[in-house]
Amino acid sequence: MSTLTNPWPWYITGPLIGLMVPLLLLLGNRHFGISSNLRHICAACLPGKVPFFSYDWKKESWNLFFAGGIIIGGCIAATLLADKGPSSIHPALAAEMAGYGVTYVNTTLPAELFNWPALFTLKGFLFMVAGGFLVGFGTRYAGGCTSGHAIMGLSNLQWPSLVATCCFMAGGFIMANLILPFILHL
């Protein structure tokens, strides 16, 4: 049981994720990615004749089940397989975040940032609403999410996926090192 409740090392999980690409291609020329599911849901639910949503979304319904399986698997893992002990983060990260006024008490999500009252502050708005919008906009603008480009696109040797993955990484470095400290000081 400890095999399921403890984190797996990168050299196990990385290849397992990577093997999804050839498996999906072999099982029906499917492409790995999650961000297209919002388009499939809108195409299924919106009655209007919006050209962007006018396609046969039923051919891609397998991807909705794939995303649903991720959600169900996450719920099962969080309820049945979760370690009931206190969570821990690296002491250097805890010390750096404490400098910004963010403390971790037996959790990996600090209460100063992730709770309902914090959502209605400027900092919470920037994290949740503006950040969520930017992630969604960037995903649509890039033509896919990080998993789609970095895992599927790079394995297919697609030049746009290499550019998108480099931009995702550069954006992450800029956010973590330049923008996040500024927001945390608000």
24-58 tens-digit pLDDT:
888 888 877 788 888 888 888 887 778 888 888 88
In a domain, 9, yes or no: yes
Return the structure tokens found at 55.
């396609």
Q: What is the dihedral of CA 123, 174, 102, 71, to 10 degrees?
A: 80
Would the pLDDT of 75 be above 80? Answer: yes
Residue 15, domain extent: 1-82
Number of structural domains the chain divides into: 2
Averaged pLDDT of the chain: 83
Q: Residue 100 domain-assigned?
A: no
Tokens of 105: 């008490």
Residues 72 and 6 in one domain: yes
In a domain, 89, yes or no: no
**Average pLDDT over every residue of 77-95:** 79
Mean pLDDT of 92-103: 84
User: Is the same domain home to 65 and 132?
Assistant: no
Residue that the structure tokens 């969080």 belong to: 78
**For residue 32, is it within any domain?**
yes
Q: pLDDT value at position 166?
A: 93
Q: What is the pTM of this model?
A: 0.68
Between CA 83 and CA 111 the distance in angstroms is 19
Question: 76 and 4, same structural domain?
Answer: yes
Residue 82 DSSP class: -
Residue type, 23: L
Residue 87 belongs to a domain? no
Q: Is residue 142 part of a domain?
A: yes
Residue 4 in any domain: the answer is: yes
67 and 130 inside one domain: no
Question: Quick check: is 97 in a domain?
Answer: no
Q: Give the model's pLDDT for residue 173.
A: 93
Per residue in 141-162, pLDDT (tens digit) is 888 888 788 888 888 888 999 9
User: Among 184, 178, 179, 180, which residue's Cα sits nearest to residue 101?
Assistant: 184
Give the number of other CB atoms < 10 A from CB of residue 135: 13
- pLDDT-based confidence at residue 79 (cuts at 50, 70, 90): confident
